Structures are given as structure tokens and as C-alpha cells.
């Protein structure tokens, strides 16, 4: 019996992604002046309006409104007909972090309770699921053909979805369905757009051996996508958490990443869990692995560590747990130090996904931990 799984991705111009990028651009600006800045920044955007709100504690002094406008301009919303541009109305409502939360963080504990997940699979060289990887590559290519004027009629908003078929053994067979929606200028004929996107985006991106005569393509299925971005659909920070992580293949604790400094374990512990899972798969101790970390506010160490290798593991979970405890300091302070999380680095992640940049420190493998694991069992 065939098994199908689908994952989606969105471009930088998607309304929720616009908000993610604004929140993280502001965080990066704060960290560039004060690495100890604490932030929980939320952004919402709609037609001709952006509202930035939340809590910060920092010694930095930045021009919040200008950063918002620069971010919108970089994404590509610069023309009046978009009805949302870098000249839109901006309201800033930022307050100081709650002293009750700060007290727990000051004692080097977690900034909140919660559970975070990390995942890795050997399906791709990125150690990410194939459908998810392909969906991201499609939106990246969609942005590229717009910015390079290969398809000059495209606008910033866009989405992709890829469905992959697996055989009975869980091995990838083919791509079953591709969905691609791209915002465009008003005067473009739909047949030209569909032909161009099939040629310059889909078949340019997805390997030919994964496509066949039965692969289904849905390109701008409604036939029209002129008004897009926050002018068409209100955006909000943190609503694309599945596109930020693993495309639905793994669990998600529920907490968003963007706009949060690394004392928030929603972000930092998810990065650490990804690194652990990736190391286990890279060491060939499992074909796929999911790690859950759970924390209590103000408490330094995780209250639980859960390991799931989906019956592909070659070592008992107890051995893996002992290995984790030996090589990883999973306190918020330990994670921040290990992955240099006070460095400004988050704006690009909110655009492209948090586990796709090989230069991210949590994507780099601790060779001592890896070699130790290889020698086990």
C-alpha cells in the first residue's frame, strides 16, 4: 500500500513570514548592541499597517520603525499597488520584561515551562524529510526568479506544497503532487504563468527522477493571485511554526521561535534538540530520531528527555540518554554558550527555515560527541 506525506513552505513575502522577519530583525538589532538583550517581540501586519508589540529588556538603542521599514523593503514590498509597502503605518508598543519572568532567568533557569522537539532523518543530505526539503527549495527558487527578473511579473508572496510517495518499507518512491502558488502582476495570463512556473521553478528544482507522467501539478489553482501579503491576509509572528521546523514529520511543542532571545527555551532548546537528533542519525545509530526536552520556568536542567528512533535505532534508549548527559549541557545557559546564541543571526532563519542553514551553529556537529557515539555498540 502506498503512503503519501505532504509538507509546505512559504516565501519571505507571505504575511506571517513578513511578521517573523520583522520580529527577528528587531531582535538582531538589539543583540548587535547588547548581547544580553531579552526579547519577546510579536508583530502583526495588515493593509497599510504594522504593529510591533511585546516585552524587551536591553541596553541597546535602536530605531525600531526604521528597522521595520527596511525589512519590508528588503522583502520586496515597495510598490503602491501592493497596498502594503515600506511606507506603511508603523506602531511600536514595547514594554519591559515581567520581573516575575526575569527572576527565573536571572537565576539561569528556563524563561518558561514547555516542551521542545528536535528531529533528523537520513532521507536527505540536510537530514530533513524530502517533501519538506523540496517544498523549501521551491519557495527559495520562486524568490530567486523574482529577484533576478527571470520572471519579472512575480510579486513577493508565494507558497508551495509537495507530496511524496513512500513504498511499504518507508523508502521514497516519487513525488506525487506539487502545489505552487505565486503572487503576480495583474496583466499576466494564467497559462503563461503556469508554463513559466513549471519550467523555471518546479522542474528546475525537483530532480527529474522523482517526477513521472502521473505526478500532479496545481499551479495557482484559483487562477488569480494579484493581491497578496499582509494586504490580502493579516500576518502574525509565529503562525508558520511547522514550516519553520520539519514540515509536520515531527512533533512540535507549540512555541514559536521568531522574536525570542535564547533564554526562551522555545527557541534555544529546540535548536539543541535538533543538534542531538542530527548527531544520532549522522552516527548511523538510527535512520530517524526525535528528541523531546521539557523545562520548568526558573529551573536550570530539563525535567525530562525523551528519545524516539521509530524502531530504527541500533542502541538502547538508555545508552543514548547516557551519551546525551555526558556530552550536552542542556541548561539554558549551557545551550546559549554551546551554540553562541547571543550573536545576531536570526533574521535569515525566519525567512528560510531554522534547520536549513548549514552555517547555523546547531547544525554543526560536535565531533567528540559524534565519534564517541560511533564507537558505542
List Cβ neighbours of 148 (8 Å cut-off, separation of 6 or more): none
Q: Which residues are registered as beta bridge partners of 313?
A: none
Q: What is the mean pLDDT of each run of 10 residues along the chain (377 residues)?
A: 93 98 98 96 97 95 97 97 97 81 63 90 97 98 98 98 94 97 97 98 98 98 95 97 96 93 95 98 98 93 96 96 97 96 95 92 96 93
What pTM value is reported for the model? 0.95
pLDDT tens by residue, 323-346: 999 999 999 999 999 999 999 999
List the grid coordinates of 327.
556530552
Distance from C-alpha of 85 to C-alpha of 156, rounded to nearest angstrom: 11
Q: Can you give the pLDDT at residue 169?
A: 87
Q: Do residues 270 and 251 make contact, with C-beta atoms less than 8 angstroms apart?
A: no
H or E stretch including 161?
strand 154-166
pLDDT tens by residue, 124-150: 999 999 999 999 999 999 999 999 999
Residue 29: Cβ-neighbour burial (10 angstroms; 0-12, 13-18, 19+) = buried
Distance from C-alpha of 287 to C-alpha of 309, rounded to nearest angstrom: 7
Q: Can you give the pLDDT at residue 254?
A: 82
Q: Can you give the pLDDT at residue 100?
A: 61
Q: Can you give the pLDDT at residue 291?
A: 98
Q: Do residues 177 and 215 make contact, with C-beta atoms less than 8 angstroms apart?
A: yes
List Cβ neighbours of 238 (8 Å cut-off, separation of 6 or more): 16, 20, 42, 256, 257, 258, 259
Amino acid at each position: 500500500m502506498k503512503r503519501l506525506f505532504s509538507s509546505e513552505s512559504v516565501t519571505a513575502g507571505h504575511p506571517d513570514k513578513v511578521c517573523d522577519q520583522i520580529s527577528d530583525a528587531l531582535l538582531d538589532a538589539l543583540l548587535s548592541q547588547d548581547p544580553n538583550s531579552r526579547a519577546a517581540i510579536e508583530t502583526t501586519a495588515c493593509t497599510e499597517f504594522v504593529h510591533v508589540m511585546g516585552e524587551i529588556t536591553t541596553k541597546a538603542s535602536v530605531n525600531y520603525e526604521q528597522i521595520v521599514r527596511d525589512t519590508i523593503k528588503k522583502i520586496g514590498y515597495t510598490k503602491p499597488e501592493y497596498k502594503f509597502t515600506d511606507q506603511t503605518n508603523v506602531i511600536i508598543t514595547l514594554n519591559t520584561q515581567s520581573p516575575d519572568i526575569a527572576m527565573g532567568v536571572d537565576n539561569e533557569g528556563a524563561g518558561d515551562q514547555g516542551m521542545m522537539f528536535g528531529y533528523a532523518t537520513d532521507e536527505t543530505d540536510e537530514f530533513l524529510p524530502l517533501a519538506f526539503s523540496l517544498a523549501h527549495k521551491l519557495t527559495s527558487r520562486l524568490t530567486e526568479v523574482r529577484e533576478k527578473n527571470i520572471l519579472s511579473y512575480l510579486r513577493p508572496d508565494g507558497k508551495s506544497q509537495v507530496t511524496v510517495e513512500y513504498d511499504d518499507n518507508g523508502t521514497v518512491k516519487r513525488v506525487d503532487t506539487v502545489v505552487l502558488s505565486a503572487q503576480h502582476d495583474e496583466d499576466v495570463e494564467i497559462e503563461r504563468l503556469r508554463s513559466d512556473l513549471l519550467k523555471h521553478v518546479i522542474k528546475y528544482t525537483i530532480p527529474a527522477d522523482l517526477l513521472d507522467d502521473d505526478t500532479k501539478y496545481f499551479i495557482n489553482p484559483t487562477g488569480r493571485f494579484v493581491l497578496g501579503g499582509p494586504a490580502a491576509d493579516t500576518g502574525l509572528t509565529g503562525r508558520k511554526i511547522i514550516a519553520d521546523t520539519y514540515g509536520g514529520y515531527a512533533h512540535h511543542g507549540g512555541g514559536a521561535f521568531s522574536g525570542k532571545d535564547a533564554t526562551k527555551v522555545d527557541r534555544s532548546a529546540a535548536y539543541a534538540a535538533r543538534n542531538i537528533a542530527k548527531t544520532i542519525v549522522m552516527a548511523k545509530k538510527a535512520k530517524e530520531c526525535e528528541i523531546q526536552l521539557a523545562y520548568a520556568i526558573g529551573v536550570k536542567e530539563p525535567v525530562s528527555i525523551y528519545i524516539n528512533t521509530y524502531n530504527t535505532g541500533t542502541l538502547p534508549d538508555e545508552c543514548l540518554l547516557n551519551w546525551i548527559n555526558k556530552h550536552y549541557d542542556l541548561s539554558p545557559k549551557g545551550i546559549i554558550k554551546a551554540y553562541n546564541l547571543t550573536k545576531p543571526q536570526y533574521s535569515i532563519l525566519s525567512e528560510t527555515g531554522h534547520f536549513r542553514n548549514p552555517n547555523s551553529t546547531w547544525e554543526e556537529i560536535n565531533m567528540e560527541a559524534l565519534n564517541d557515539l560511533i564507537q558505542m555498540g
